[in-house]
Structure 1
Amino acid sequence: MRSASGDDVCEVTCVHPEAVARSRAALPDPAGVEDATTLLKVVADPTRFRILSALNTGELCVCDLAAVVSISESAASHQLRLLRAHRLVTFRKEGRVAYYRLLDQHITGLIAGALEHVRE
């Protein structure tokens, strides 16, 4: 498909075999692509991204997360179950209170990178 201005497409068809080979060799395997895109879809939900951003400041219980994100505790629990299923968050119980935190530094980096990118 050609753009309106045509400035962002090649004016001639040419393939650079070395560049194509290098890029193909660097592509992740199909299962890796599927897993990564699924992860990004989960994070792409605004409510879940806000929950992850809140947890980026430290551990919070479900009630606190619901208050921070302005959703019901039931909705927070539902979103947290999904985030936990995709290995983005983990939790611990203290009595009857569940405290959630980000699973690891990869999630912290993902959030920080996305926010930094949109701020530039």
Structure 2
Amino acid sequence: MQTKDICEVTKVHEDVVFSVKKKLPDVTKVALIFKALADETRLKIAYALTIEEELCVCDVSEIIESSTATASHHLRFLRDLSLAKSRRKGKLVYYSLADHHVNELVKIAYEHAVEEGEKIGQSSHERI
């Protein structure tokens, strides 16, 4: 069975392929960012931090409906990838997104999902 979206030749534009491969940066760090945000709980936390600039671990645990230990684990994961930052104030630890890039990345991803609406339906979700 042939698929319409697969090329039937191996290379057509060797010069273009060579040029792109030469310019392609190492995507390891970017892949880690998307892997971190692919987790629904961490994405929910990141999106919550686009709504409220800073949240304490206790509030995050309530937002994601989990224990403070689970919330802390996810927040540390985001911090370790430089997606979030933390500060201690007395007995509380507050988290915020690392910078405007992370904020925009999360917002744009959400906006894209909303705009695509029906296109990202159940059948696409089942393939993941």
TM-score range, shorter chain: 0.7 to 0.9
Aligned to 1:70: 65
Counterpart position of 2:34 = 40
Once the two structures are overlaid, the 10-residue window that deviates more, 110-119 or 82-91, is 110-119
> In the alignment, does 2:84 pair up with 1:89?
yes
TM-score, normalised by the number of residues in structure 1? 0.83
Distance in 2 (CA, whole Å) between partners of 1:81 and 1:12 is 46
Larger relative helix fraction: 2
Does residue 54 of the first structure (1) align with residue 48 of the second (2)? yes
Look up the equivalent residue of 1:46 and give its one-letter code: E
One-letter amino acid matched to 2:5? D
Identity of aligned residues (%): 41
CA distance in 1, matches of 2:107, 2:13: 35
Q: 1:12 to 1:35 in 2, by over 3 A?
A: closer
Measured in 2, the distance between the counterparts of 1:13 and 1:80 equals 44
Give the AA of the match of 2:39. D
Q: How far apart, in 2, do the equivalents of 1:13 and 1:37 lie?
A: 26
Q: What residue ranges of structure 2 are gaps of 5+ in the alignment?
A: 117-128
Deviation, structure 1 residue 9: 2.7
Q: CA RMSD in A?
A: 1.8
State the partner residue of 1:9.
Answer: 6
